[in-house]
């Protein structure tokens, strides 16, 4: 993971930055598995309460070239600036960038009923809507490729560390174990 590409969203009077990031990330998700499955990581260098206006792609020269050779940015080029593929600076730190999920009360009830642990009435009583955990991390809003339903991909940048950890990234470019260079 010695190369990176920055994609910076340009201000637009018609669309909020978050809307553009949602669209950009959705397109990336569809392309990343086809171009270099497990080899490309992402980070959001300007993340705070929101993910910000910059998406950084991390990988090797080959994996990033394979991704950028695809037409996945079609329709987004007017809204973003794409850097050249650059070498990661020396003396960087590392961190994980992972997806976090909270199971909804509805899904917990359905599973408990399906497994036979609870009846429908017991599930409604024991697993109230208030039990739903609210996540405070920034997220990407997108549509599920499998069923078309809207979904949120909550993103958490892990603690900074001095040594890299190798591993695979999922189709979102996220991993709970593998690190990306942080600078």
Q: How far is CA 51 from CA 8, 56, 75, 128, 153, in A?
A: 12, 11, 21, 31, 11
Token code pair at residue 11: 């201000």
Residue 117 lies in a domain: no
Residues labelled catalytic: 29
For tokens 């909270």, the residue is 102
Cβ 160 vs Cβ 182: under 8 Å = yes
Token code pair at residue 13: 């009077």
138 closest CA partner among 155, 152, 151: 155
pTM across the whole model: 0.84
Residue 63 lies in a domain: yes
What is the Cα–Cα distance from 45 to 36, expressed in whole angstroms?
A: 22
Residue 105 lies in a domain: no
What is the Cα–Cα distance from 54 to 45, expressed in whole angstroms?
A: 6
Q: How many domains does the chain have?
A: 1
pLDDT in tens, 103-160: 677 777 888 888 899 888 888 888 877 666 667 899 999 988 778 888 899 999 999 9
> What's the domain range around 20?
3-94+165-182
Domain CATH number, residue 67: 3.30.70.2540
């Amino acid at each position: 993971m010695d190369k990176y590409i920055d994609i910076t969203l340009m201000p637009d009077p018609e669309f909020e930055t978050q809307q553009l990031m949602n669209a950009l990330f959705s397109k990336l998700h569809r392309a990343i598995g086809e171009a270099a499955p497990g080899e490309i990581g992402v980070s959001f260098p300007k993340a705070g309460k929101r993910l910000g206006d910059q998406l950084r792609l991390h990988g090797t020269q080959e994996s990033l070239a394979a991704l950028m050779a695809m037409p996945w940015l079609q329709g987004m080029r007017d809204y973003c600036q794409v850097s050249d593929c650059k070498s990661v600076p020396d003396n960087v730190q590392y961190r994980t960038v992972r997806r976090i999920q909270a199971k909804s009360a509805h899904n917990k009830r359905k599973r408990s009923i399906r497994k036979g642990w609870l009846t429908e009435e017991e599930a409604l009583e024991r697993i109230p809507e208030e039990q739903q955990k609210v996540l405070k991390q920034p997220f990407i809003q997108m549509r599920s490729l499998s069923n078309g339903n809207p979904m949120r991909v909550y993103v958490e940048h892990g603690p900074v560390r001095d040594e890299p950890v190798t591993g695979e990234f999922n189709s979102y470019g996220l991993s709970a174990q593998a690190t990306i260079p942080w600078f």
